[in-house]
């Protein structure tokens, strides 16, 4: 398969459901801890759950939007349009 915009979109769309399902289940599990952060006995767990939820949102956006865009842009800059995962330079370095 040739690398290009169509490949980047296909890769992102194939990973969309697994990434969103994992993020959603984790967020739903942490939501009660994050909401009850001010209650007695949750002085550590509540803020930690909020930080984890923030990181989860950030990493989900990174995986779905930034990484495919970055991969496509870097591929376009370097001018490599060969098949994905195959080394293009077969020279040996001595």
For 3-15, the pLDDT digits (tens) are 777 887 888 888 8
Higher pLDDT, 76 or 13: 13
Residue 49 has pLDDT above 60, yes or no: yes
CA distance 57 to 20: 10
C-alpha triplet 61, 62, 64: angle, nearest 5°: 65
pLDDT of residue 94: 47
Which tokens hold the place of 48? 């930690």
pTM for the structure as a whole: 0.66
CA distance 38 to 67: 36
Taking residue 68's Cβ as centre, other Cβ atoms within 10 Å add up to 19
């Amino acid at each position: 398969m040739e690398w290009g915009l169509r490949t980047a979109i296909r890769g992102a769309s194939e990973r969309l459901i697994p990434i969103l399902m994992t993020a959603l289940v984790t967020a739903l599990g942490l939501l009660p801890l994050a909401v009850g952060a001010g209650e007695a006995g949750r002085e550590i767990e509540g803020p930690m759950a909020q930080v984890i939820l923030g990181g989860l949102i950030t990493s989900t956006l990174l995986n779905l939007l930034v990484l495919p865009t970055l991969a496509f842009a870097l591929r376009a800059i370097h001018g490599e349009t060969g098949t994905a995962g195959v080394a293009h330079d077969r020279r040996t370095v001595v």
